[in-house]
Amino acid sequence: MSSASFPELHNVGDEVSGQFRCNDCDLLVVSPVENDGILVLPPCPLCDGETWRRVG
C-alpha cells in the first residue's frame, strides 16, 4: 500500500509548518510565513476535530 492511501496524520498540539487539512471536515490551515513559520495545530475551529493531514 502506498503512503498516499494513508496520509501521515498530525494531532492537536503538534508543531508543524506547511499546509494542513482537518481530517474530519477538510478545513485548510496554513503555517505563518513570518518569524519561524511554526504552527501549533489547534482543534479544528469548524468541527472540533483533533487530527490534521499535510497537503501540498
Give the whole-angstrom CA distance, residue 16 versus residue 31.
7
- pTM (two decimals): 0.82
Give tens-digit pLDDT for 5-33: 667 899 999 999 999 999 999 999 999 98
C-beta separation of 29 from 41 below 8 A: yes
**pLDDT tier at 56 (50, 70, 90 boundaries)?**
confident
- Contacts of residue 40, defined as CB under 8 A and 6 or more positions apart, other chains included, come to 13, 14, 15, 16
Give the other-Cβ count within 10 Å of 18's Cβ. 13
Q: Does an H or E element contain 28, and which?
A: strand 28-30
pLDDT of residue 2: 45
